[in-house]
Structure 1
Amino acid sequence: MNYKEILLYGVYSDLRTEVARRFLGFLWWVIEPIMYMATFYLVFGLALRQGGPEYVPFLLTGMVAWKWFDGSVRQASVAITMNAGLIQQIYVPKSLFPLIQIFSNTFKFLIVLLLLLAFVLFLGKKPSLHWFALIPVIFTQLYLIIAFGLLLAALIPFAHDLKQVVDNALMLMMFLSGIFFSADRLPESVRWLFELNPMVLMIDAYRTVLLNNQWPDAKHLLYVVAIATPPLVFALLFIRKNERRYPKLML
Protein backbone atom coordinates (compact mmCIF):
# COMPACT_ATOMS: atom_id res chain seq x y z
CA MET A 1 0.00 0.00 0.00
CA ASN A 2 1.52 3.33 -1.06
CA TYR A 3 1.21 6.58 0.87
CA LYS A 4 -1.65 7.86 -1.28
CA GLU A 5 -3.66 4.74 -0.51
CA ILE A 6 -2.83 5.10 3.19
CA LEU A 7 -4.07 8.69 3.11
CA LEU A 8 -7.31 7.80 1.35
CA TYR A 9 -7.93 4.84 3.63
CA GLY A 10 -7.18 7.00 6.67
CA VAL A 11 -9.71 9.61 5.58
CA TYR A 12 -12.29 6.89 4.92
CA SER A 13 -11.64 5.26 8.30
CA ASP A 14 -11.82 8.58 10.13
CA LEU A 15 -15.16 9.47 8.54
CA ARG A 16 -16.51 5.96 9.07
CA THR A 17 -15.50 6.00 12.75
CA GLU A 18 -17.21 9.35 13.25
CA VAL A 19 -20.38 8.01 11.64
CA ALA A 20 -20.31 4.88 13.81
CA ARG A 21 -20.03 6.92 17.01
CA ARG A 22 -23.22 8.87 16.30
CA PHE A 23 -26.76 7.61 16.48
CA LEU A 24 -27.83 9.40 13.30
CA GLY A 25 -24.64 8.44 11.48
CA PHE A 26 -23.74 10.46 8.40
CA LEU A 27 -27.07 12.31 8.57
CA TRP A 28 -25.52 14.38 11.35
CA TRP A 29 -23.18 15.95 8.77
CA VAL A 30 -26.30 17.44 7.18
CA ILE A 31 -28.39 18.04 10.32
CA GLU A 32 -25.66 19.85 12.25
CA PRO A 33 -24.95 22.59 9.67
CA ILE A 34 -28.68 23.03 9.01
CA MET A 35 -29.25 23.59 12.75
CA TYR A 36 -26.20 25.85 12.80
CA MET A 37 -27.45 28.00 9.93
CA ALA A 38 -31.00 28.02 11.26
CA THR A 39 -29.78 29.30 14.63
CA PHE A 40 -27.92 32.22 13.09
CA TYR A 41 -30.86 32.97 10.82
CA LEU A 42 -33.31 33.05 13.77
CA VAL A 43 -31.02 35.07 16.05
CA PHE A 44 -29.52 37.58 13.62
CA GLY A 45 -32.08 37.59 10.84
CA LEU A 46 -35.40 37.45 12.68
CA ALA A 47 -34.79 38.27 16.34
CA LEU A 48 -32.09 40.96 16.26
CA ARG A 49 -32.55 42.02 12.63
CA GLN A 50 -28.85 42.74 12.69
CA GLY A 51 -27.42 44.50 9.67
CA GLY A 52 -30.48 44.12 7.48
CA PRO A 53 -31.56 41.16 5.30
CA GLU A 54 -28.11 40.85 3.71
CA TYR A 55 -26.37 40.31 7.04
CA VAL A 56 -27.41 36.67 7.58
CA PRO A 57 -25.86 35.30 4.34
CA PHE A 58 -22.91 37.64 4.95
CA LEU A 59 -22.42 36.11 8.41
CA LEU A 60 -23.03 32.49 7.39
CA THR A 61 -20.58 32.68 4.50
CA GLY A 62 -17.88 33.90 6.86
CA MET A 63 -18.69 31.29 9.50
CA VAL A 64 -18.66 28.37 7.04
CA ALA A 65 -15.25 29.35 5.69
CA TRP A 66 -13.90 29.98 9.18
CA LYS A 67 -15.15 26.71 10.70
CA TRP A 68 -13.38 24.73 7.98
CA PHE A 69 -10.12 26.51 8.78
CA ASP A 70 -10.57 26.38 12.56
CA GLY A 71 -11.67 22.74 12.83
CA SER A 72 -9.04 21.47 10.39
CA VAL A 73 -6.12 23.31 11.99
CA ARG A 74 -7.16 22.32 15.53
CA GLN A 75 -7.48 18.64 14.68
CA ALA A 76 -4.41 18.54 12.46
CA SER A 77 -2.28 20.21 15.13
CA VAL A 78 -2.66 17.25 17.53
CA ALA A 79 -2.85 14.50 14.90
CA ILE A 80 0.68 13.20 15.51
CA THR A 81 0.37 13.12 19.31
CA MET A 82 -3.09 11.52 19.11
CA ASN A 83 -1.61 8.63 17.09
CA ALA A 84 1.23 7.95 19.51
CA GLY A 85 0.36 4.26 19.87
CA LEU A 86 0.46 3.61 16.13
CA ILE A 87 3.62 5.67 15.67
CA GLN A 88 5.45 3.54 18.23
CA GLN A 89 4.46 0.29 16.51
CA ILE A 90 5.07 0.88 12.81
CA TYR A 91 6.66 3.47 10.57
CA VAL A 92 4.20 5.80 8.86
CA PRO A 93 5.20 9.21 7.45
CA LYS A 94 4.11 11.59 10.18
CA SER A 95 2.75 14.15 7.74
CA LEU A 96 -0.03 11.71 6.82
CA PHE A 97 -1.73 12.03 10.21
CA PRO A 98 -2.54 15.77 9.98
CA LEU A 99 -3.40 15.38 6.30
CA ILE A 100 -5.99 12.72 7.16
CA GLN A 101 -7.68 15.14 9.57
CA ILE A 102 -7.54 17.99 7.07
CA PHE A 103 -9.08 16.01 4.21
CA SER A 104 -11.74 14.53 6.50
CA ASN A 105 -12.76 18.04 7.47
CA THR A 106 -12.62 19.11 3.83
CA PHE A 107 -15.14 16.43 2.89
CA LYS A 108 -17.52 17.68 5.58
CA PHE A 109 -16.89 21.28 4.54
CA LEU A 110 -18.00 20.52 0.99
CA ILE A 111 -21.29 19.18 2.34
CA VAL A 112 -21.78 22.35 4.39
CA LEU A 113 -20.84 24.49 1.39
CA LEU A 114 -23.55 22.82 -0.69
CA LEU A 115 -26.06 23.63 2.06
CA LEU A 116 -24.81 27.22 2.10
CA LEU A 117 -25.30 27.45 -1.67
CA ALA A 118 -28.84 26.14 -1.27
CA PHE A 119 -29.49 28.70 1.47
CA VAL A 120 -28.13 31.54 -0.65
CA LEU A 121 -30.38 30.47 -3.53
CA PHE A 122 -33.32 30.26 -1.12
CA LEU A 123 -32.72 33.89 -0.15
CA GLY A 124 -33.05 34.94 -3.78
CA LYS A 125 -29.43 35.13 -4.90
CA LYS A 126 -28.97 34.05 -8.50
CA PRO A 127 -26.03 31.86 -9.54
CA SER A 128 -23.65 33.05 -12.22
CA LEU A 129 -20.46 32.00 -13.96
CA HIS A 130 -18.58 33.71 -11.15
CA TRP A 131 -19.51 30.80 -8.87
CA PHE A 132 -16.95 28.68 -10.72
CA ALA A 133 -14.35 30.88 -9.02
CA LEU A 134 -15.15 28.94 -5.85
CA ILE A 135 -12.83 26.23 -7.16
CA PRO A 136 -9.58 28.26 -6.93
CA VAL A 137 -10.84 29.89 -3.72
CA ILE A 138 -11.38 26.49 -2.10
CA PHE A 139 -8.00 25.17 -3.24
CA THR A 140 -6.29 28.32 -1.98
CA GLN A 141 -7.84 27.92 1.46
CA LEU A 142 -7.00 24.20 1.47
CA TYR A 143 -3.37 25.12 0.76
CA LEU A 144 -3.45 27.56 3.68
CA ILE A 145 -4.97 24.94 6.00
CA ILE A 146 -2.41 22.29 5.02
CA ALA A 147 0.45 24.73 5.63
CA PHE A 148 -0.57 25.74 9.14
CA GLY A 149 -1.97 22.32 10.05
CA LEU A 150 1.32 20.60 9.19
CA LEU A 151 3.37 23.31 10.88
CA LEU A 152 1.54 22.98 14.18
CA ALA A 153 1.43 19.18 13.96
CA ALA A 154 5.20 19.18 13.52
CA LEU A 155 5.92 21.45 16.50
CA ILE A 156 3.37 20.45 19.16
CA PRO A 157 4.99 17.05 19.98
CA PHE A 158 8.10 19.03 20.96
CA ALA A 159 6.15 21.60 23.02
CA HIS A 160 2.78 20.32 24.23
CA ASP A 161 1.91 23.66 25.86
CA LEU A 162 1.76 25.11 22.37
CA LYS A 163 -1.68 23.48 22.05
CA GLN A 164 -3.15 25.97 24.55
CA VAL A 165 -1.51 28.84 22.67
CA VAL A 166 -3.03 27.59 19.41
CA ASP A 167 -6.52 27.32 20.92
CA ASN A 168 -6.43 30.88 22.24
CA ALA A 169 -4.82 32.25 19.09
CA LEU A 170 -7.57 30.71 16.94
CA MET A 171 -10.21 32.18 19.23
CA LEU A 172 -8.66 35.63 18.85
CA MET A 173 -8.21 35.12 15.12
CA MET A 174 -11.91 34.34 14.73
CA PHE A 175 -12.82 37.86 15.84
CA LEU A 176 -10.11 39.37 13.64
CA SER A 177 -11.05 37.55 10.43
CA GLY A 178 -13.97 39.70 9.35
CA ILE A 179 -16.65 37.13 10.09
CA PHE A 180 -18.94 39.60 11.85
CA PHE A 181 -18.03 42.74 9.94
CA SER A 182 -16.45 43.79 6.67
CA ALA A 183 -13.00 45.31 6.31
CA ASP A 184 -14.67 48.13 4.35
CA ARG A 185 -16.01 49.47 7.65
CA LEU A 186 -12.51 50.05 8.98
CA PRO A 187 -10.54 53.27 8.47
CA GLU A 188 -8.13 53.18 5.57
CA SER A 189 -5.23 53.75 7.96
CA VAL A 190 -5.73 50.37 9.70
CA ARG A 191 -7.45 48.31 7.01
CA TRP A 192 -4.15 47.16 5.49
CA LEU A 193 -3.08 45.81 8.88
CA PHE A 194 -6.37 43.94 9.24
CA GLU A 195 -5.97 42.41 5.78
CA LEU A 196 -2.59 40.93 6.65
CA ASN A 197 -4.65 38.11 8.15
CA PRO A 198 -5.04 35.63 5.25
CA MET A 199 -8.45 34.46 6.51
CA VAL A 200 -9.80 38.00 6.07
CA LEU A 201 -9.02 37.73 2.37
CA MET A 202 -10.35 34.18 2.09
CA ILE A 203 -13.68 35.06 3.68
CA ASP A 204 -13.93 38.16 1.51
CA ALA A 205 -13.29 35.99 -1.58
CA TYR A 206 -16.22 33.70 -0.74
CA ARG A 207 -18.51 36.69 -0.20
CA THR A 208 -17.37 38.35 -3.40
CA VAL A 209 -18.24 35.25 -5.40
CA LEU A 210 -21.44 34.09 -3.69
CA LEU A 211 -23.06 37.30 -2.54
CA ASN A 212 -21.83 39.83 -5.10
CA ASN A 213 -21.47 37.60 -8.18
CA GLN A 214 -18.01 38.97 -8.87
CA TRP A 215 -14.59 37.45 -9.48
CA PRO A 216 -12.35 37.29 -6.41
CA ASP A 217 -9.23 39.43 -6.33
CA ALA A 218 -6.44 37.26 -7.78
CA LYS A 219 -3.83 39.30 -5.92
CA HIS A 220 -5.47 38.37 -2.61
CA LEU A 221 -5.38 34.66 -3.47
CA LEU A 222 -1.73 34.92 -4.50
CA TYR A 223 -0.97 36.70 -1.24
CA VAL A 224 -2.53 33.82 0.73
CA VAL A 225 -0.43 31.32 -1.23
CA ALA A 226 2.68 33.40 -0.56
CA ILE A 227 1.91 33.55 3.16
CA ALA A 228 1.29 29.79 3.36
CA THR A 229 4.32 28.59 1.39
CA PRO A 230 7.14 29.30 3.91
CA PRO A 231 5.43 27.52 6.86
CA LEU A 232 4.52 24.61 4.57
CA VAL A 233 8.10 24.17 3.35
CA PHE A 234 9.44 24.50 6.89
CA ALA A 235 6.91 21.98 8.22
CA LEU A 236 7.72 19.38 5.57
CA LEU A 237 11.47 19.74 6.13
CA PHE A 238 11.07 19.70 9.92
CA ILE A 239 8.90 16.57 9.90
CA ARG A 240 11.27 14.78 7.52
CA LYS A 241 14.26 15.65 9.68
CA ASN A 242 12.57 14.43 12.87
CA GLU A 243 10.68 11.39 11.54
CA ARG A 244 12.60 9.04 13.85
CA ARG A 245 12.40 11.33 16.87
CA TYR A 246 8.61 11.47 17.13
CA PRO A 247 8.19 7.92 18.52
CA LYS A 248 10.68 8.74 21.28
CA LEU A 249 8.74 11.89 22.18
CA MET A 250 5.62 9.80 22.71
CA LEU A 251 7.16 7.63 25.45
Structure 2
Amino acid sequence: MNYKEILLYGVYSDLRTEVARRFLGFLWWIIEPVMYMATFYLVFGLALRQGGPDYVPFLLTGMIAWKWFDGSVRQASVAISSNSGLVQQIYVPKSLFPLIQIFSNTFKFFIILLLLLLFMLVIGKRPSLHWLGLVPIILTQLYLIIAFGLLLASVIPFAQDLKHVVDNALMLMMFLSGIFFSAERIPESVRWLFELNPMVLVIDAYRAVLLNNQWPDAMHLLYIVAVATPALAFALLFIHKNERRYPKLML
Protein backbone atom coordinates (compact mmCIF):
# COMPACT_ATOMS: atom_id res chain seq x y z
CA MET A 1 0.00 0.00 0.00
CA ASN A 2 1.52 3.32 -1.04
CA TYR A 3 1.25 6.55 0.92
CA LYS A 4 -1.61 7.91 -1.19
CA GLU A 5 -3.65 4.80 -0.46
CA ILE A 6 -2.81 5.09 3.25
CA LEU A 7 -4.01 8.68 3.23
CA LEU A 8 -7.27 7.85 1.47
CA TYR A 9 -7.92 4.86 3.69
CA GLY A 10 -7.10 6.93 6.76
CA VAL A 11 -9.64 9.59 5.76
CA TYR A 12 -12.27 6.94 5.03
CA SER A 13 -11.57 5.17 8.33
CA ASP A 14 -11.66 8.41 10.31
CA LEU A 15 -15.02 9.45 8.83
CA ARG A 16 -16.49 5.97 9.26
CA THR A 17 -15.38 5.79 12.89
CA GLU A 18 -16.84 9.20 13.64
CA VAL A 19 -20.18 8.20 12.13
CA ALA A 20 -20.22 4.88 13.99
CA ARG A 21 -19.61 6.34 17.44
CA ARG A 22 -22.33 9.01 17.21
CA PHE A 23 -26.00 8.26 17.71
CA LEU A 24 -27.02 10.62 14.89
CA GLY A 25 -24.25 9.41 12.58
CA PHE A 26 -23.31 11.70 9.73
CA LEU A 27 -26.22 14.03 10.56
CA TRP A 28 -24.07 15.38 13.37
CA TRP A 29 -21.75 16.85 10.72
CA ILE A 30 -24.66 19.12 9.82
CA ILE A 31 -26.27 19.61 13.24
CA GLU A 32 -23.08 20.63 15.06
CA PRO A 33 -22.07 23.52 12.77
CA VAL A 34 -25.70 24.66 12.49
CA MET A 35 -25.97 24.85 16.29
CA TYR A 36 -22.57 26.54 16.44
CA MET A 37 -23.57 29.20 13.93
CA ALA A 38 -27.04 29.66 15.43
CA THR A 39 -25.48 30.43 18.82
CA PHE A 40 -23.31 33.19 17.41
CA TYR A 41 -26.21 34.57 15.38
CA LEU A 42 -28.36 34.80 18.52
CA VAL A 43 -25.56 36.64 20.32
CA PHE A 44 -24.32 38.97 17.59
CA GLY A 45 -27.31 39.22 15.28
CA LEU A 46 -30.16 39.44 17.78
CA ALA A 47 -28.81 40.23 21.25
CA LEU A 48 -26.12 42.73 20.15
CA ARG A 49 -28.01 43.78 16.98
CA GLN A 50 -24.99 43.64 14.70
CA GLY A 51 -25.33 43.95 10.92
CA GLY A 52 -28.42 44.57 8.82
CA PRO A 53 -31.04 42.56 6.90
CA ASP A 54 -28.36 40.52 5.08
CA TYR A 55 -26.50 39.71 8.27
CA VAL A 56 -27.53 36.04 8.30
CA PRO A 57 -25.83 35.07 4.99
CA PHE A 58 -22.97 37.43 5.90
CA LEU A 59 -22.43 35.63 9.20
CA LEU A 60 -22.98 32.11 7.84
CA THR A 61 -20.43 32.61 5.07
CA GLY A 62 -17.79 33.74 7.53
CA MET A 63 -18.58 31.05 10.08
CA ILE A 64 -18.45 28.18 7.59
CA ALA A 65 -15.09 29.30 6.23
CA TRP A 66 -13.77 29.76 9.75
CA LYS A 67 -15.14 26.43 11.04
CA TRP A 68 -13.25 24.56 8.34
CA PHE A 69 -10.00 26.32 9.21
CA ASP A 70 -10.45 26.07 12.97
CA GLY A 71 -11.51 22.41 13.11
CA SER A 72 -8.85 21.27 10.66
CA VAL A 73 -5.97 23.11 12.32
CA ARG A 74 -7.00 22.06 15.84
CA GLN A 75 -7.25 18.38 14.96
CA ALA A 76 -4.20 18.37 12.71
CA SER A 77 -2.06 20.06 15.37
CA VAL A 78 -2.37 17.07 17.74
CA ALA A 79 -2.59 14.35 15.10
CA ILE A 80 0.95 13.02 15.57
CA SER A 81 0.88 13.00 19.37
CA SER A 82 -2.63 11.50 19.52
CA ASN A 83 -1.49 8.56 17.35
CA SER A 84 1.42 7.73 19.63
CA GLY A 85 0.62 4.01 19.68
CA LEU A 86 0.79 3.69 15.92
CA VAL A 87 3.82 5.97 15.68
CA GLN A 88 5.74 3.67 18.03
CA GLN A 89 4.73 0.43 16.28
CA ILE A 90 5.31 1.03 12.58
CA TYR A 91 6.96 3.57 10.34
CA VAL A 92 4.53 5.86 8.57
CA PRO A 93 5.44 9.34 7.34
CA LYS A 94 4.32 11.55 10.20
CA SER A 95 2.85 14.15 7.84
CA LEU A 96 0.10 11.67 6.94
CA PHE A 97 -1.52 11.93 10.38
CA PRO A 98 -2.38 15.66 10.20
CA LEU A 99 -3.27 15.32 6.51
CA ILE A 100 -5.86 12.65 7.36
CA GLN A 101 -7.52 15.04 9.81
CA ILE A 102 -7.40 17.91 7.34
CA PHE A 103 -8.98 15.98 4.48
CA SER A 104 -11.62 14.48 6.79
CA ASN A 105 -12.64 18.00 7.78
CA THR A 106 -12.52 19.07 4.14
CA PHE A 107 -15.05 16.39 3.24
CA LYS A 108 -17.39 17.69 5.95
CA PHE A 109 -16.78 21.25 4.82
CA PHE A 110 -18.06 20.46 1.33
CA ILE A 111 -21.31 19.14 2.81
CA ILE A 112 -21.84 22.35 4.78
CA LEU A 113 -20.81 24.49 1.81
CA LEU A 114 -23.44 22.76 -0.33
CA LEU A 115 -26.06 23.57 2.30
CA LEU A 116 -24.89 27.19 2.32
CA LEU A 117 -25.27 27.40 -1.47
CA LEU A 118 -28.79 25.97 -1.21
CA PHE A 119 -29.57 28.52 1.49
CA MET A 120 -28.33 31.31 -0.79
CA LEU A 121 -30.71 30.13 -3.49
CA VAL A 122 -33.62 29.96 -1.05
CA ILE A 123 -33.13 33.57 0.09
CA GLY A 124 -32.97 34.77 -3.51
CA LYS A 125 -29.25 34.97 -4.25
CA ARG A 126 -28.89 34.12 -7.92
CA PRO A 127 -25.88 32.03 -8.94
CA SER A 128 -23.55 33.53 -11.52
CA LEU A 129 -20.26 32.76 -13.21
CA HIS A 130 -18.59 34.48 -10.28
CA TRP A 131 -19.47 31.46 -8.13
CA LEU A 132 -16.71 29.64 -10.05
CA GLY A 133 -14.41 31.87 -8.03
CA LEU A 134 -15.06 29.50 -5.13
CA VAL A 135 -12.61 27.04 -6.70
CA PRO A 136 -9.43 29.14 -6.27
CA ILE A 137 -10.65 30.33 -2.85
CA ILE A 138 -11.17 26.78 -1.59
CA LEU A 139 -7.82 25.62 -2.97
CA THR A 140 -6.06 28.61 -1.41
CA GLN A 141 -7.69 28.03 1.97
CA LEU A 142 -6.86 24.33 1.81
CA TYR A 143 -3.22 25.22 1.14
CA LEU A 144 -3.28 27.56 4.16
CA ILE A 145 -4.83 24.88 6.37
CA ILE A 146 -2.28 22.27 5.31
CA ALA A 147 0.58 24.68 5.96
CA PHE A 148 -0.47 25.66 9.47
CA GLY A 149 -1.83 22.22 10.35
CA LEU A 150 1.47 20.54 9.47
CA LEU A 151 3.49 23.30 11.14
CA LEU A 152 1.71 22.90 14.47
CA ALA A 153 1.62 19.10 14.22
CA SER A 154 5.38 19.04 13.70
CA VAL A 155 6.29 21.02 16.82
CA ILE A 156 3.62 20.11 19.39
CA PRO A 157 5.11 16.65 20.16
CA PHE A 158 8.22 18.51 21.35
CA ALA A 159 6.21 20.89 23.56
CA GLN A 160 2.82 19.46 24.55
CA ASP A 161 1.80 22.64 26.38
CA LEU A 162 1.58 24.35 23.00
CA LYS A 163 -1.82 22.67 22.57
CA HIS A 164 -3.30 25.13 25.06
CA VAL A 165 -1.60 28.04 23.33
CA VAL A 166 -3.06 26.92 20.00
CA ASP A 167 -6.58 26.66 21.44
CA ASN A 168 -6.45 30.17 22.87
CA ALA A 169 -4.74 31.63 19.79
CA LEU A 170 -7.45 30.22 17.52
CA MET A 171 -10.15 31.61 19.79
CA LEU A 172 -8.55 35.06 19.59
CA MET A 173 -8.02 34.71 15.85
CA MET A 174 -11.71 33.94 15.38
CA PHE A 175 -12.70 37.35 16.74
CA LEU A 176 -10.02 39.04 14.63
CA SER A 177 -10.98 37.43 11.32
CA GLY A 178 -13.94 39.60 10.40
CA ILE A 179 -16.53 36.87 10.92
CA PHE A 180 -18.96 39.09 12.79
CA PHE A 181 -18.18 42.40 11.08
CA SER A 182 -16.85 43.67 7.78
CA ALA A 183 -13.24 44.79 7.41
CA GLU A 184 -14.68 48.03 6.04
CA ARG A 185 -15.67 48.95 9.60
CA ILE A 186 -12.01 49.06 10.60
CA PRO A 187 -10.40 52.52 10.33
CA GLU A 188 -8.31 52.73 7.16
CA SER A 189 -5.25 53.75 9.15
CA VAL A 190 -5.07 50.31 10.83
CA ARG A 191 -6.98 48.16 8.32
CA TRP A 192 -3.74 46.95 6.73
CA LEU A 193 -2.73 45.50 10.10
CA PHE A 194 -6.08 43.74 10.43
CA GLU A 195 -5.72 42.29 6.93
CA LEU A 196 -2.36 40.72 7.73
CA ASN A 197 -4.49 37.90 9.12
CA PRO A 198 -4.95 35.63 6.06
CA MET A 199 -8.35 34.42 7.26
CA VAL A 200 -9.69 37.97 6.97
CA LEU A 201 -8.91 37.85 3.26
CA VAL A 202 -10.25 34.30 2.87
CA ILE A 203 -13.59 35.23 4.42
CA ASP A 204 -13.81 38.45 2.40
CA ALA A 205 -13.19 36.43 -0.76
CA TYR A 206 -16.09 34.06 0.00
CA ARG A 207 -18.38 37.01 0.66
CA ALA A 208 -17.33 38.80 -2.51
CA VAL A 209 -18.28 35.75 -4.57
CA LEU A 210 -21.43 34.59 -2.80
CA LEU A 211 -22.95 37.84 -1.56
CA ASN A 212 -21.79 40.40 -4.12
CA ASN A 213 -21.25 38.30 -7.28
CA GLN A 214 -17.67 39.53 -7.61
CA TRP A 215 -14.46 37.71 -8.47
CA PRO A 216 -12.07 37.17 -5.55
CA ASP A 217 -9.12 39.55 -5.33
CA ALA A 218 -6.20 37.69 -6.94
CA MET A 219 -3.63 39.71 -4.99
CA HIS A 220 -5.24 38.70 -1.71
CA LEU A 221 -5.12 35.04 -2.68
CA LEU A 222 -1.48 35.38 -3.68
CA TYR A 223 -0.74 36.98 -0.32
CA ILE A 224 -2.30 34.00 1.47
CA VAL A 225 -0.15 31.62 -0.59
CA ALA A 226 2.91 33.73 0.21
CA VAL A 227 2.16 33.49 3.94
CA ALA A 228 1.49 29.75 3.84
CA THR A 229 4.45 28.67 1.69
CA PRO A 230 7.30 29.31 4.18
CA ALA A 231 5.22 27.77 6.97
CA LEU A 232 4.65 24.65 4.86
CA ALA A 233 8.30 24.44 3.80
CA PHE A 234 9.48 24.68 7.40
CA ALA A 235 6.94 22.08 8.55
CA LEU A 236 7.94 19.55 5.89
CA LEU A 237 11.65 20.03 6.59
CA PHE A 238 11.12 19.81 10.35
CA ILE A 239 9.04 16.64 10.10
CA HIS A 240 11.54 15.03 7.72
CA LYS A 241 14.45 15.87 10.01
CA ASN A 242 12.71 14.45 13.09
CA GLU A 243 10.91 11.44 11.59
CA ARG A 244 12.90 9.04 13.80
CA ARG A 245 12.62 11.19 16.91
CA TYR A 246 8.85 11.29 17.16
CA PRO A 247 8.47 7.67 18.42
CA LYS A 248 10.96 8.40 21.23
CA LEU A 249 8.93 11.45 22.28
CA MET A 250 5.87 9.23 22.76
CA LEU A 251 7.53 6.96 25.34
Task: State the alpha-carbon separation in 2 of the partners of residues 187 and 201 from structure 1.
Answer: 16
Task: State the alpha-carbon separation in 1 of the partners of residues 158 and 38 from structure 2.
Answer: 41
8 Å CA contact 1:40, 1:56 repeated in 2: no
Deviation at 1:105, TM superposition (A): 0.3
Change (3 A) 1:155 1:43: closer
8 Å CA contact 2:121, 2:127 repeated in 1: yes
Amino acid at match of 2:76: A
8 Å CA contact 2:37, 2:63 repeated in 1: no
Change (3 A) 1:236 1:171: same
Deviation at 1:33, TM superposition (A): 3.5
Long gaps (5+) in structure 1: none
Amino acid at match of 1:204: D
- Please name the residue that 2:132 is paired with: 132
- Please name the residue that 2:28 is paired with: 28
Q: Determine whether 1:88 maps to 2:88.
A: yes
Deviation at 1:44, TM superposition (A): 5.6
- Please name the residue that 2:233 is paired with: 233
Task: State the alpha-carbon separation in 2 of the partners of residues 172 and 133 from structure 1.
Answer: 28
Identical aligned pairs, as a percentage? 86
Q: Determine whether 1:104 maps to 2:104.
A: yes
Deviation at 1:64, TM superposition (A): 0.4
Amino acid at match of 2:104: S
- Please name the residue that 2:179 is paired with: 179
Task: State the alpha-carbon separation in 1 of the partners of residues 226 and 68 from structure 2.
Answer: 20
- Please name the residue that 1:154 is paired with: 154
8 Å CA contact 2:177, 2:197 repeated in 1: yes
TM-score for the superposition, normalised by structure 2: 0.96
Task: State the alpha-carbon separation in 2 of the partners of residues 61 and 24 from structure 1.
Answer: 25
SS of 2:91 mapped into structure 1: coil
Deviation at 1:41, TM superposition (A): 5.6
Change (3 A) 1:47 1:186: closer
- Please name the residue that 1:143 is paired with: 143
Displacement over 6 Å in runs of 4+: none
Task: State the alpha-carbon separation in 1 of the partners of residues 177 and 224 from structure 2.
Answer: 13
1:10-49 CA-partner distances (Å, limit 9, x unpaired): 0000000000001121122233334445555666666765
Change (3 A) 1:161 1:49: closer
1:85-141 CA-partner distances (Å, limit 9, x unpaired): 001000000000000000000000000101111111111111100001101100000
TM-score for the superposition, normalised by structure 1: 0.96
Q: Determine whether 1:164 maps to 2:164.
A: yes
RMSD: 1.5
- Please name the residue that 1:211 is paired with: 211
Q: Determine whether 1:123 maps to 2:104.
A: no
Change (3 A) 1:126 1:48: farther
SS of 1:106 mapped into structure 2: helix
Amino acid at match of 1:65: A
* Equivalences for residues 43-54 of structure 1 within 5 A: 50-54=50-54
SS of 2:11 mapped into structure 1: helix
Amino acid at match of 2:229: T
